Structure 1
Amino acid sequence: MTVAAPALPWDEVWGQDDAVAQLRRAATDADHLAHAWLITGPPGSGRSTLAYAFAAALIAEPGDEAAMRQVIARTHPDLTALRTEGVIISIKDARALVERSYFSPSLGRYRVIVMEDADRMVERTSNVLLKALEEPPEKTVWVLCAPSEADLLPTIRSRVRTLRLREPDVADVARLIAQRTGVDDAVAEQSARHAQRHIGMAQRLATDAASRERRDETLRSVLRVRNVGDAVEVAARIVQLATDDAKALTAERDESEREALLRTLGVAPGTAVPPAVRGQVNALEDDQKRRATRSLRDGVDRVLTDLESLYRDTLMLQFDRDVDLINRELDADLRALAQAWEAPRTLTVLDRISATRENLEQNAAPALALESLLITVASGRTP
């Protein structure tokens, strides 16, 4: 008689019943288990949550809740996980994953390698993974996460089984946020709509009035851009807001990491760092700087997503469709803009937003990239 696996690994997975059913089956039936998986879905759809739930079901014996909780907490010895703190995944980190993938499981049924943000690999880093994905050991399973298949090289896609997650409805996300945070239904609905169904971002907007105010200020500032001077001023303001937001997210973590390292090295609080251990402290600070750079770029990318929603709403109104607007609070401004512009100009701005995102991925300076975008907003022409 087969013992049913407990629900624990899947408790935190929300709104992905079909994907859960497929992975639960794979975890208990070797005939349905691929050696490498790619979980795709839009930001906030729960890719990473599902990946670790799958890892827990693969590693732990049925009924072993302690082992499952270890995996979910990222502390089980048979789980190797990578979520880059930098802008890209380094070759060094990729090689370390490959090396770990050849170890036999020490306690669990399988060794599982989870790579979050697999879309952050450049081509030469992807090539490091190819052989490991093509010929992994019998008891090793790879789980990659990315927004879409197109974000990975064809050579990687050909070696994995893809599982596409569904995008939840605004109403579904709003109900979840209200249940999790206790905010009123109106705030939950607005946050889910503004976050465009990104669960993590919706939760942050719902619980942080300052984040809601920064978003509103940014969109209203962009709507007031009329000339090059406005473009430069607003671009600088957006970068400053994104920088402040990034610092707020990372400052507390940076300090706790530094204190923990100094404590481990035996350095008393408030005393000078001895030369013998200064290299380790400098290495930590370098890692934190890379994380801060990524956090800033992620913040600017979030602004671009919000701007896309603004001009998407404008385009909808230009085609006489006023349902499902994301920024309903700006209805009057959006209608005025839709009348003042022709649809081709709106499309030009939307194309420029996409180009700006690509430029930032190529390490363009955020302020200059945003200035160029906002000049297009002001003039309707690409600089």
Structure 2
Amino acid sequence: MDATADADLAELPWGAVWGQQAAVEVLQAAASDSQSMTHAWLITGPPGSGRSTLAYAFAAALIAEPGDEQTMRQVLARTHPDLTALRTEGVIISIKDARALVERSYFGPSLGRHRVIVMEDADRMAERTSNVLLKALEEPPERTVWILCAPSDADLLPTIRSRVRTLRLREPDVAEVARLIARRTGVDIATAEQSARHAQRHIGMAQRLATDAAARARRDATLRGALAVRGVGDAVEVAGRIVQAATDDAKALTAERDEAERASLLHTLGIAPGSPVPPAVRSQLTALEDDQKRRATRSLRDGIDRVLTDLQSMFRDVVVLQFGRDDDLVNCELEPELRSLAAAWTTERTLVVLDRVSETRRNLDQNVAPTLALESMLVTVASGRTL
């Protein structure tokens, strides 16, 4: 991106959007031309590509008058009354949540130019939930705009895809992400490059890896553990370690937030720290704890999915080496071990393992027990055969 483009994107509301100049230009044109405006959008791109950041920037441009920075900042902070946003804390988006969005979409804007409904993680809708949205997407009120976000348009039903305009984000290369991470965090360029490569250009994950040596060590230990699996016993042990590490990671990410939410609720209810909770308000505390449990479940499954993504990258590297290439490896640090595996396995066996990793990811989306799913997958790694 040239200096002129950087200067353009530095202006509100697009300042936080990185590496998506073409998409920004499309949305800027749409926001400024109400006659040709599409009222239902789907922004797609891989995790970490900035789908949600772009969605809220677009929402700010739609709601605020040009040059109204105060309103733009309100929208970007998710506090403007004409913005309704949903980012599920659970494994799926519930029908109840979808119906609430649809109901909200039929209100006209109260202060801004448009009412905007942003649905992050739209791929987490089951078919019944998707059907709730159909009429609202097909015939939205005149000044209501829907913005859905998902990794791919294939993650949504054809009936949803036919009612939205799809905007696909570009994937930055490793060097671009590395430069961004180095600039944001101050880490050396070598660490930033390794983190961007291991995160497969996922900006948020690359930033975490770059700034968390323990996370980098856990990733390395997990991949080396999978390479060492030779039988059922090894598969059970490594699967247990992966689930435990993901559980510990999920607890670390959510514990501080959970405690702050509990303390805030108790304070709002007028209950002093350490005092017993009166029966009359226990239901509110129980509801909060239920929400936190759902969030913890999602955090755990997201953590395991990241492990599976790392394993996919490793076995993908093996296939690359089996086809005589070594210029595009994700896990360069493991190249000797991966070359040994590439020589020992047939390409067909590696592809079977890759298919099983993908199948395990799908199974986890269907609430299969994580430990059993990982054990079964790692037995395939050890034997080259599915159970």
- SS of 1:8 mapped into structure 2: coil
- Quote the Cα distance in structure 1 between the aligned partners of 2:200 and 2:283: 43
> Which residue does the alignment assign to 2:191?
187
- SS of 2:13 mapped into structure 1: helix
- SS of 2:166 mapped into structure 1: strand
Distance 1:322 1:251, change over 3 A: same
- 1:100-139 aligned within 5 A: 100-139=104-143
- The one-letter code of the counterpart of 1:78 is D
Distance 1:31 1:5, change over 3 A: farther
Deviations 1:174-233 (A, max 9, x none): 000000000000000000000000000000000111110110010000000000000000
> Which residue does the alignment assign to 1:66?
70
> Which residue does the alignment assign to 1:354?
358
Q: Pick from 238, 248, 251: which aligns with 1:244?
A: 248
Deviations 1:318-357 (A, max 9, x none): 1110111000001111111111111100000000011101
> Which residue does the alignment assign to 2:100?
96
Pairwise CA distance, 1:33: 1.3
Question: 1:6, 1:63 within 8 Å by CA — same for their partners in 2?
Answer: no
- SS of 1:10 mapped into structure 2: coil
- Quote the Cα distance in structure 2 between the aligned partners of 1:223 and 1:306: 12
> Which residue does the alignment assign to 1:320?
324
Q: Pick from 22, 33, 39: which aligns with 1:29?
A: 33
Question: 1:101, 1:136 within 8 Å by CA — same for their partners in 2?
Answer: yes
- 1:74-93 aligned within 5 A: 74-93=78-97
- The one-letter code of the counterpart of 2:134 is L
Question: 1:309, 1:327 within 8 Å by CA — same for their partners in 2?
Answer: yes
TM-score, normalising length from structure 2? 0.97
- The one-letter code of the counterpart of 2:152 is S
- SS of 2:47 mapped into structure 1: coil
- Quote the Cα distance in structure 2 between the aligned partners of 1:81 and 1:210: 33
Q: Pick from 299, 304, 329: which aligns with 2:303?
A: 299
Pairwise CA distance, 1:32: 3.2
- The one-letter code of the counterpart of 1:203 is Q
- Quote the Cα distance in structure 1 between the aligned partners of 2:183 and 2:33: 35
> Which residue does the alignment assign to 1:219?
223
> Which residue does the alignment assign to 2:5?
none
Task: Provide structure 2 residue ranges, at least 5 long, that are not aligned to the other structure.
Answer: 1-7
> Which residue does the alignment assign to 2:21?
17
Q: Pick from 209, 212, 215: which aligns with 2:213?
A: 209
Aligned-pair identity (%) = 79
- Quote the Cα distance in structure 1 between the aligned partners of 2:316 and 2:35: 45
- Quote the Cα distance in structure 1 between the aligned partners of 2:22 and 2:359: 35
Question: 1:301, 1:357 within 8 Å by CA — same for their partners in 2?
Answer: yes
- SS of 1:85 mapped into structure 2: coil
- Quote the Cα distance in structure 2 between the aligned partners of 1:367 and 1:272: 37
- Quote the Cα distance in structure 2 between the aligned partners of 1:48 and 1:149: 15
Q: Pick from 142, 162, 170: which aligns with 1:158?
A: 162
Q: Pick from 243, 260, 264: which aligns with 1:260?
A: 264
- Quote the Cα distance in structure 1 between the aligned partners of 2:61 and 2:215: 36
Distance 1:12 1:6, change over 3 A: closer
- Quote the Cα distance in structure 2 between the aligned partners of 1:256 and 1:33: 42
Matched residues, number = 380
**Root mean square deviation of aligned Cα:** 1.0
> Which residue does the alignment assign to 1:364?
368
> Which residue does the alignment assign to 2:340?
336
- The one-letter code of the counterpart of 1:279 is S
> Which residue does the alignment assign to 1:141?
145
- Quote the Cα distance in structure 2 between the aligned partners of 1:264 and 1:33: 43
- Quote the Cα distance in structure 1 between the aligned partners of 2:21 and 2:37: 18
Question: 1:6, 1:62 within 8 Å by CA — same for their partners in 2?
Answer: no
> Which residue does the alignment assign to 2:59?
55
Deviations 1:216-254 (A, max 9, x none): 010000000000000000000000000011011100000
Deviations 1:117-172 (A, max 9, x none): 00000000001001111111001000000000110001100000000000000000
Q: Are residues 1:7 and 2:11 paired? A: yes
- Quote the Cα distance in structure 1 between the aligned partners of 2:336 and 2:10: 52
TM-score, normalising length from structure 1? 0.98
- Quote the Cα distance in structure 2 between the aligned partners of 1:97 and 1:225: 47
Pairwise CA distance, 1:173: 0.2
Task: Provide structure 1 residue ranges, at least 5 long, that are not aligned to the other structure.
Answer: none
- The one-letter code of the counterpart of 2:248 is D
- The one-letter code of the counterpart of 1:20 is V
